[in-house]
Chains A and B, each alone.
Chain A
Amino acid sequence: MSESTRQLVENLNALAAGLFLLASFGIVAMRQARGCLMLFILQSLLLAASAALLGLRFDSGHLFGVALVNLITKPIVVPWLLRKVAPAGLYTRREVDQVLNIPTTLLIALALSIGAYFLGVPLANAVGPEYRGPNVSIGIAGLLLGAFTLTVRREALPLLIGLLAMENGAFLAGILLAHDLSMLVELAIATDGLIIVFIVGVLVRAVAKQVGTTAVGDLASLKEGGGHAVPGAGR
């Protein structure tokens, strides 16, 4: 690979990672549930793009495999599965009151991603001197922002997407850190993501039917000291 192509590939990979970070921010703050899903799909596409570009960079067929698996499962199978199992109203929901207001949320998210830099750089350096790109730092940022999404959101779909985004973040770092993980494991992890979507979808459907809302974050009847006297409620 010539020097200029290599540089172009590295820059494109960095661009994919940068947009990945932006998509993570969007997932934290986007009000519309459908928009969240779209951002997640975008994020997964960017992850696949990064994997493919790194595959080009390292001349690794394995990473192309990872890109392909990501390309098939997340943008295609996940929405399909959600349509099958989740309650119909899930997409049209909007987050009316997040736990924090959006500018505060974004500022905290910003602080998290700067923190991710200080975690990511030493990690990437410890692995070795070969090309690292921004994947590790941005991957950690994606992981943290996904976890942050889980703490500030109440609506079911954004919460589910926060989970999947965490996995995406771990993967974005993983394709650089552990780019020769066995394909069996990669496939298993991808399948695992689909099972998560399925189980969470079934749960949300049950919640929507039983409680009448998909804002699952608002469920808070179980706690200590409150004496939640609901006699004879199930066992």
Chain B
Amino acid sequence: MNVVWILVPPLVAALLVGIRTPRTWVPAITVASCLIVLAFAGRIAWVVAAGGSVTDRLGPAWANWVAVDGLSALILLLIALVATTAAIYSIGYLAHEELVPVKLRLYHANYNLFVFSMLAIPLIAEPTLVWIVVELTTLASALLVSFGNTREALEAAWKYVILSLMGAGFALFGFLVLFAAMHATGGGSYTWAGLAAAAPRMPPLLMQTAFLLVLIGLGTKVGLVPMHTWLPDAHSQAPSPVCALLSGIETTSILYVILRFFPIMQSVPGAHAETWAVVLGLISVGTAAFLLLQVHDYKRLFAFSTVEHMGVMLTAVGLGASAHYGAMQQIVSHAVTKSFCFFAAGAVLLSTGTREIAAVRGLIGRAPAAGAALVLGGLGITGAPPLAIFLSEFTILKAGLATGQYVATGLLAIFIVIAFFGVMVHVNRMVFGAPDSDQPGTAPGGGAASSRLPFSCALALVLGAVPVVVLGVYIPAPLHALMQHAAAALAR
């Protein structure tokens, strides 16, 4: 089995929805391609979790370009998972608004290309090519963000594209410097593994420069503070299933590229990659936690929560080897929970027609399913026990305390608690608050409001809810093994 085949279904699907296939097939094609990818990713993850290799039968020509280890397999699996549930969710979500066929095809073609570009990130081992597919994720998702074609959506897409590409410009230079550093050691294969092997001989100055450029450049796309300004806009203006992809897994898969630097940087004297990670991570968590309090739009609420969680992951990675398992757990639980959150937010949007927090009150009475989902999502994303994120954040904090990093761990804990209140205050008001007398039940301006949730949305919500709940109390053994492999990939 050649792992590269996993990239084919989304490409074929993008092509199929682009040509004149019957209109009703279009969403089904996307779902089918995502299911195939999920099966593929599941198989890869299974093999890797069992300690096997999925690339050993590839020819030597591939070895310089493709590599899959525990970390890659984990990210691949999560991308496939979120892409599948979001594809299912898209069916009902888009059916709701009468789209012209061209728009529908555009959506699905872009969706598949976006999934394709994300899948390529963990697969490819050559850093500059990884940079290119990171660019492709931006470009493929830009038109998804602007899909609503309103002034706000266009503004969000514009900011997204400009800032992400600006970051990518710095990252490109970083990768070129990395290449030069590699070259200065007299060659070797320019892959993540080759870099880790050559790292002790590389000029430290070049390595540091490359690391910082990539951290800042790709950190822009991950949404680290202070480069996060575009993220709440883009992650809230896009259609909800796209938000689920963007927030749930795209940010993480870009963070993956930054994480790839940590094993390399460990053999560079005086690089302090961990310190950078903790500082930048804590700044992100703290800023996001306080900004959460003053959000007016519930999709932005979850978008800011993404900034917070990216900070948590980065901090966890910076806390040292013992927290790496927690970081992996956080990546998994964030992916499943955040995508669920956006499904819930989408359900609320479908039933109320507004994104204003102030305009939504007493949801539990008017749209019980959406209300319940929102509560579960809010609790899940803020780390309430016994849900998935609680377990992962607990693991991280425990590891931080065990290694005696009291300041960083303490700050992280405080910020997480603030974020909990920030999210739950709003969610509580929306779901259980009494309707204001001056607020009409639905928003003015003809937002299509209905209380019936489309079947596929409900299905996606249920599917999405399962891991949020289950992973908080029980981690299957293969997943545990996979996360351990992934954590091991972060150390040299």
Contact = CB atoms under 8 A, between A and B. Distances in A.
Please determine if A and B sit in direct contact within the complex, based on CB atoms under 8 angstroms apart: yes
Interface of A: 119, 122-123, 126-128, 139-140, 143, 146-147, 150, 159, 163, 166-167, 169-170, 173-174, 177-178, 180-181, 184-185, 188-189, 192, 195-196, 199-200, 202-203, 206-207, 210-211, 216, 219-222, 224-235
Contacts of A226: 296
B176 A199 contact: no
Contacts of B126: 185
A127 to B, nearest CB: 5
B473 to A, nearest CB: 34
Contact of A170 (B146, B172, B300): B172
- Size category, B interface: 35 or more
B146 A206 contact: yes
A45 B49 CA distance: 51
Given A122-B205, A203-B142, A232 B149 contact: no
Contacts of B209: 119, 123
A232 B183 contact: no
Interface stretch (B386-394, B438-446, B461-469): B438-446
A109 to B, nearest CB: 16
Contacts of B152: 221-222, 228, 230, 233-234
Contacts of A192: 132, 135-136, 139
Contacts of B355: 235
Contact of B132 (A174, A177, A188, A227): A188
Given A181-B179, A196-B165, 8 more contacts: A119-B209, A122-B205, A180-B183, A224-B291, A225-B296, A226-B296, A233-B150, A233-B151
A189 B169 contact: no
A219 B180 contact: no
A210 B151 contact: yes
A169 B358 CA distance: 47
Interface stretch (B153-161, B278-286, B306-314): B153-161
A116 to B, nearest CB: 11
A84 to B, nearest CB: 16
Contact of A221 (B136, B155, B296): B155
Interface stretch (B51-59, B82-90, B233-241, B321-329): B233-241
Contact of A231 (B154, B158, B159, B447): B447
B205 A126 contact: yes
B128 interface: yes
Nearest to B350: A235
B155 A220 contact: yes
B155 to A, nearest CB: 4
B170 interface: yes
B4 interface: no
Q: What 8 pairs between A and B have smallest CB-CB spacing?
A: A234-B148, A232-B447, A166-B169, A232-B445, A231-B445, A177-B180, A219-B155, A234-B150
Interface of B: 97, 126, 128-129, 132, 135-136, 139, 142-143, 146, 148-159, 161-162, 165-166, 169-170, 172-173, 176-177, 179-181, 183-184, 203, 205-206, 209, 232-233, 237, 239-240, 291, 294-297, 300, 346, 349, 353-356, 358-359, 443-448
Contact of B205 (A123, A206, A222, A231): A123
16 contacts: A143-B169, A143-B170, A146-B169, A147-B166, A170-B172, A170-B173, A177-B177, A185-B132, A210-B154, A211-B151, A219-B155, A222-B237, A228-B152, A230-B150, A235-B97, A235-B349
Contacts of B136: 192, 195
B162 A163 contact: yes
A235 B240 contact: yes
A139 B180 CA distance: 14
Contact of B237 (A127, A159, A202, A234): A234
A222 B446 contact: no
A221 to B, nearest CB: 6
B346 to A, nearest CB: 8
Contacts of B150: 210, 230, 233-234
B210 to A, nearest CB: 10
A72 B363 CA distance: 58
Given A185-B132, A192-B135, A232-B444, A178 B158 contact: no
B139 A206 contact: no
A207 B128 contact: no
Contact of B169 (A167, A185, A225, A233): A167
Contacts of A166: 166, 169-170
Given A188-B129, A199-B142, A207 B177 contact: no
A121 B126 CA distance: 27
A127 B169 contact: no
A30 B448 CA distance: 46
A42 B149 CA distance: 35
B450 to A, nearest CB: 13
A225 to B, nearest CB: 5
A126 B179 contact: no
B183 A203 contact: no
Centre residue among A127, A139, A170, A206 by max chain B CB count within 10 A: A170
A150 B168 CA distance: 13
Residue of B97, B152, B233 with most chain A CB atoms under a 10 A cut-off: B152
B203 A127 contact: yes
Contacts of A128: 184
B173 A222 contact: no
B203 A231 contact: no
A146 B168 CA distance: 12
A207 B155 CA distance: 8
Contacts of A173: 173, 176
A222 B155 contact: yes
A80 to B, nearest CB: 19
A121 to B, nearest CB: 11
Contacts of B358: 227
B176 A232 contact: no
Contacts of A181: 128, 176, 179
Contacts of A232: 353-354, 443-448
